[in-house]
Chains A and B, each alone.
Chain A
Amino acid sequence: MLGLRYIQCFLLLLCSIIVNVHAKSAIGSRTLIVFDDRVDDLSNYSNFFNLLKDHEFDITTLELSDKSTKINLFEKDTRLYDNLILFPVKGKLYSKQLAAKKLIHFNEDGGNILALTIPKVSSDPIHLYLNQLGIYPSPRTQSLKDLFQDSNNNNLQFTAKESIENKIIYSNENAEDSIYNFGDSVSAALLDNREQIIPLLKASRTSFTSGNKTREINWTDGTQGYLIAGFQNLVNARSLWLGSVQFLSNEHFKQNLDLINDLIQWNFQEKNIIKVTNVNHYHTESNLSYDELPYKVTDNITYTISLSQWDGSKWIPFITDDLQFELRQVDPYYRITMKPQGVSPIDPQAELYSTGDFKLPNRHGMFTFLTNYQRSGLSFIHQSDVKAIRHLANDEYPRSFEIPNAWVYLASIATVIISFIAFVLFFIATPASVSEGVTTAKKTN
């Protein structure tokens, strides 16, 4: 295992020396772009594709206006692509090939999906997929409007300060007043309140979604609606939904560049990737592991975990102050915030966290040593280890003479026994005037 890690480390080092340019995805770079020429001309997005190429994505494009095109995401259960970019697709022809089930399968297998919708066309498969995730984009013809924005070309603009929801993904902290342009054809979505959904950019307070028909009910009102939302499933594959295609177009590219960059980096797993490299727990005094000396109640235990983070080219230590450890048996008996201890001595790419010394509860049974670190934007970490904690053996309880409280009772017993012996001696020694006494007693009675 260790040898493997060294090889991996060496390979990474080699790669970083050879390549040494842009950030890279932690999982892979095979990217498929699905688009429909009838909806939009792909040449409008050349800057975006150049950005992808800068990120070293290996791009394959699939044009769907030709009806004979086949979309194969898998070949014999092997995933062919790591990332999938879905531009809006017209018509129902591809609802089978891009069925929500297939997309979810792709996502669950570890593939990342970037899905785009626009109000102009109803790309059913994409909508169905997003609905499965809990993202509900506005239906066809309903588009986002904001009558308070004084622009002459109907372009919707949002400032980072007001609209950006997730500061983990949005890295550009300095430019809080930067403005992002979403163009004039924008769909907004309602979001489910699932833990996996990561709201990224919400609509402005004065915006609303409305359709062409006058009596149609608005899909969203004000900050209800979202324009960008992420979704990270339980195997840490990521999906991203963008409510506007023009957001990526050459026209607005320069203005939106830093946000697009952040989104791509997050979506295609170039950043905010963390992993557990090593988990350990042991007796604090003797450093013996569970296998060497099983735990019993009220033992002193230390739990450590090492976390690494992908910085775009290599794994580096991940430092945070809100990592918690739980010792649970149905309910948590402990919830300890772990302290970073510096770089792990075993693995220089990871940060070591330790709970410090803690005492196991006075309760035996199966306990879970759990680190459940789930922050929206970061990879989910769920590291659990179930161990049995035994009760005391009959000769491990403290003897009563070791307990100060019990000295009182010991003294009482000693007194009783000594006085009993004295009593017996006196009883034998006293002259037997018994018969007389008894007779007198009987007489008085």
Chain B
Amino acid sequence: MAPVIQKKKSVASKDDIQKDFMEAINLSISSYKSQVRNNKKLRLIDIFATMLVVIGVFQTAFVGLIQDNYPFNAFLAGFIICVGQFVLLMCLRLQLTHPFEGISKSKAFGEFVVASLILHFTCLHFIN
């Protein structure tokens, strides 16, 4: 297979590459849509994740804007809570789509809630 692809690539023009690329993107979008279509929980997770990314980027932009990171612990707390929450969400999402052996989905959710609470507790103390 491999040499054939290479041959193709060497011959392929720029347009072909773009076409392949668009195809791949379209494929992943459609697969994502079909994954989410019937599952409101996944949609909910994704909305929340997007929101976290927006908040994180906003804080970084704020630091850049005022050219000062003075209450640095406060910034770290604000930023880390976004990143941490995002990671936890992704873990939850992974477990919903591909459940681990021996761990039910409701147990996964429970673990997510406990971990999140610990994260919030830590961040609140860090910002004091």
The closest CB in chain B to the CB of A444 belongs to B34
- Is A434's beta carbon under 8 Å from chain B? yes
CB distance from B12 to the nearest CB of A (A): 28
> Which residues of the partner chain A approach B29 to less than 8 Å between Cβ atoms?
none
Q: Does A74 contact B (CB under 8 A)?
A: no
CA–CA, A427 to B120, complex, Å?
19
B42/A427 in contact, CB under 8 A: no
Given A399-B128, A400-B128, A403-B74, the answer on whether A420 and B116 have CB atoms closer than 8 Å is: yes
Could you say which of A406, A408, A410, A416 has the most chain B C-beta atoms within 10 Å of its C-beta? A416
The minimal Cβ–Cβ distance linking B18 to chain A, given in whole angstroms, is: 25
- A405, B38: Cβ atoms under 8 Å? no
Total interface residues on A, using CB and 8 Å?
31
Chain B interface, number of residues (Cβ within 8 angstroms): 44
Decide if B35 is an interface residue (CB 8 Å cutoff).
Answer: yes
Q: A436–B34 Cα gap in the complex (Å)?
A: 12
Contact between A408 and B62 (Cβ–Cβ < 8 Å)? yes
Interface assignment of A3: CB less than 8 Å from any CB of chain B: no
Q: Which chain A residue lies CB-closest to B113?
A: A424
Interface secondary structure of B, over-half rule? helix
- Min CB distance B112 to A, Å, is 9
In the bound complex, residues from chain B placing their C-beta under 8 Å from that of A286 are none
Residues of chain A with a CB closer than 8 A to B59's CB: 408-409, 412
Chain A 417-442 interface residues, beta-carbon cutoff 8 Å to B: 417, 419-420, 423-424, 426-427, 430-434, 436-438, 440-441
Q: Are A416 and B96 in contact (CB under 8 A)?
A: no
Output the least CB separation between A403 and chain B (Å).
5
Q: Is the CB–CB distance between A413 and B78 below 8 Å?
A: yes
A433 and B39 contact, CB distance less than 8 A? yes
Q: Which residue of A lies closest to B120 (CB)?
A: A417
Q: Are B97 and A419 in contact (CB under 8 A)?
A: no
Contacts of B75 in A (CB 8 A): 409
- Assess whether B71 is interfacial by the CB under 8 Å rule: yes
**Contact of A413 with B124 in the complex, beta carbons under 8 Å:** yes
Q: How far is the CA of A403 from the CA of B97 in the complex (A)?
A: 43
Which A residues lie within 8 Å of B74 (CB)?
400, 403, 405-406, 409-410
A261 CB, nearest partner CB in chain B, Å: 64
- State the CA gap A440–B35 with chains docked (Å): 7
Alpha-carbon separation in the docked complex, A413 to B30 (Å):
34
B71-123: which residues lie under 8 A (CB-CB) from chain A? Answer: 71, 73-75, 77-79, 81-82, 85, 96-97, 99, 105, 109, 113, 116, 120, 123
A436 lies within 8 A of B38 (CB): yes
Shortest A416–chain B CB gap in Å is: 5
| A427 pairs with B44, CB closer than 8 A | yes
Say which residue of A409, A417, A419, A432 sits within 8 Å of B48 (CB atoms): A419
CB distance from B115 to the nearest CB of A (A): 11
Of all chain B residues, which has the CB nearest A398? B71
For residue B58, CB closer than 8 A to chain A, the reply is yes
Instruction: Using known A-B contacts A400-B73, A405-B66, A438-B97, determine if residue A445 contacts B55 with beta carbons closer than 8 Å.
Output: no
B38 and A420 contact, CB distance less than 8 A: no
Residues in A with CB closer than 8 Å to B37 are 437, 440
Q: Which residues of B contact A (CB under 8 A)?
A: 31, 34-42, 44-45, 48, 51-52, 55, 58-59, 62, 66, 68, 70-71, 73-75, 77-79, 81-82, 85, 96-97, 99, 105, 109, 113, 116, 120, 123-124, 127-128
A interface residues (Cβ-Cβ under 8 A, vs B) = 399-400, 403, 405-406, 408-410, 412-413, 415-417, 419-420, 423-424, 426-427, 430-434, 436-438, 440-441, 444-445
